[in-house]
Amino acid sequence: MEFSALTFILIALSILVIAIIVIPLGLFSYIYWKDRRQSQHAILRNYPLLGKIRYTAEKAGPELRQYLFDADTAGKPFSRDDYRDVVIPAKYQKNMIGFGSRRDFEKADFYVKNAMFPKQQEELEADNTKLIDSKVYEVKEDNLLSRKEKLKNQKMQPWLLSDKHAVVIGPSCRQPFCVKGLVGMSAMSYGALGENAITALSKGVGMAGGSWMNTGEGGLSDYHLAGNTDIIAQIGPGLFGVRTKSGAFNWDLLKEKSEIPQVKAFELKLAQGAKTRGGHVDAEKVTEEIAAIRNVAPYQEINSPNRFNEFDDVPSMFSFIEQIRNHTGLPVGVKLVIGSPHDLEEMASYMKETGAGPDFITVDGSEGGTGATFQELADSVGLPIKSAVTIANQTLKKYGVRDRVTLIASGKLFTADRIAVILGMGADLVQIARAFMITVGCIMAQICHTNRCPVGVATTDPKLQKALVVDEKAYRALNYLITLRESLFRISAAAGVTTPTDIRASHIQYKDEYQRVWSLDELIDKESFSVTL
């Protein structure tokens, strides 16, 4: 019996020695031998083990910086504070802070001018007649090692614009588009995002009412329609969703899309802020279903043309716009990126001369996001949103056509104060993309182009999409949107106006690094149509 026990102990010790010493030593020897003989990495040839540690640390660097080392206000393209500004309203329908702001008040920046006598709550001209049923999280316990929260039902006010202040796109069209939500979801294609993400966003925006979602250039899918929300159907240079197999424009498909009740307008995508060229989708993302929607071959890389083949100047573009408007009866707009103060001169001049032109213009800033683009385009081509919107607004005013066009702005406008500033610069409506992605689970892994999104948002992989629970995330999108609307009315009250649509340049101030202050309307150079700082 003693012999058997001793034998057992010796065997156990032998296994332990093998597990602790022999196997790791063998593994390290193999890595050493392999890396010494490879020809790709110089550091691994000279220092195989230390080099492996170096590359491991480099690989984990982005995550380490994001969660441990970056300051709350330092991360790019969105800081930790930016991320929380979306997540907290989405989960709890709250955006309160304590102790004080972490904004750097020494930096030059724009501020909303507060009125000496602000408006009272009951003076605000909001349409809150119909309450919305939502679900929010209630925190039960929040300790260092445990957090307990429960999803509960909650009724909330929608904070829509009143009928008097509603924005009407294409009032002269057979079917104008009346918008009471002021903030909508910017263009995100099915394909760039998976069906779970698109469905959750559609349901969230749809429950909020009064707003819209843009399909992106990938075409209209059943997932965009799932929430019965208003739709702006985007048409890109690849004509996805309204093309023949050979790539020609298909007027019958366009008419078919226009007769879907949720489709309220069409948008021609000339360019996008993060990629002033046609779109790109990796082959892995182009499933059979996505290929059918776009009328392309499955599992083949998609690169849209840099521009439409249907037109190549302003007159031919206006003619194409007029054809679509007459064929469908719906408003037609263009999405563009402004590169200089002179970009809109020809368009605005031709609008004045002919009476033709788009019903709305979506101005996308160069700070906008994308599922996939090239670094040089994202960093250095096109103007940021503040400069771009100011140029667009002032140029259209110069030619006397501003009242004919609804101006929609997009480009990191994910909080109410950012939106208020851009409204003062001339925008009528605002579109948001990445913040809506965050509401449905995005953790900013920045691998949207790889189809390996770990939370199932920017991927068409069915296994990864299981992480995204549509019914739960839809309420987050709803809560974020409603909180944003309410915050806009709160800022309006502080500025002394009864509705966000009344925010003007006179309500926005600029403070420079020397603490000098100007009103925005004083800064706008009437000749160059840009903000002179």
Three state DSSP letters for 7-36: HHHHHHHHHHHHHHHHHHHHHHHHHHHHHH
pLDDT, position 293: 86
pLDDT, position 276: 64
**Identity (one letter) of the amino acid at 527?**
E
pLDDT, position 529: 44
Q: What's 157's DSSP letter?
A: -
- Give DSSP secondary structure letters for 28-75: HHHHHHHHHH-SS-HHHHH-HHHHHHHHHHHHHHHHHIIIIIS-TTT-
Q: How far is CA 306 from CA 232, 302, 366, in A?
A: 21, 12, 17
- Give DSSP secondary structure letters for 381-406: SS--HHHHHHHHHHHHHHTT-GGG-E
Q: How far is CA 113 from CA 196, 465, 493, 504, in A?
A: 41, 44, 11, 10
Dihedral of CA atoms 348, 354, 359, 364 in degrees, nearest 10, equals -30
Q: In a structure prediction context, what are the per-residue pLDDT tens digits for the chain, which is 533 residues long? A: 455 776 767 777 778 777 788 777 887 787 777 877 788 888 888 888 788 788 788 777 777 777 777 777 777 888 888 889 999 999 998 888 888 888 889 899 999 999 999 999 999 999 999 999 999 999 888 888 888 899 999 999 999 999 999 999 999 999 999 999 999 999 999 988 999 999 999 999 999 999 999 999 989 999 999 999 999 999 999 999 999 888 899 999 999 999 999 999 999 999 887 676 666 677 877 888 888 888 888 888 877 788 898 998 999 999 999 999 999 999 999 999 998 888 789 999 999 999 999 999 999 988 777 766 777 776 667 788 999 999 999 999 999 999 999 999 999 999 999 999 999 999 999 999 999 999 999 998 888 888 899 999 999 899 999 999 999 999 999 999 999 999 999 999 999 999 999 999 999 999 999 999 999 988 886 544 454 44
pLDDT, position 533: 42
pLDDT, position 371: 67
**Identity (one letter) of the amino acid at 161?**
L
E runs forming strands in 287-416? 302-303, 332-336, 360-364, 406-410
pLDDT, position 366: 81
E runs forming strands in 62-187? 109-112, 126-127, 132-142, 147-156, 160-161, 167-169, 177-179, 183-185
> Alpha helix (H) ranges present in 119-250?
195-208, 222-225
pLDDT, position 283: 80
Strands 406-410 and 429-432: parallel
pLDDT, position 278: 63
pLDDT, position 81: 87
Instruction: Round to whole Å and give the CA distance between 499 and 493.
Output: 8
pLDDT, position 527: 44
Tokens 């424009």 locate to: 249
Q: Which of these, 515, 484, 492, lies nearest to 424 by C-alpha position?
A: 492
Q: Is the Cβ–Cβ distance between 455 and 468 less than 8 Å?
A: yes
pLDDT, position 277: 65
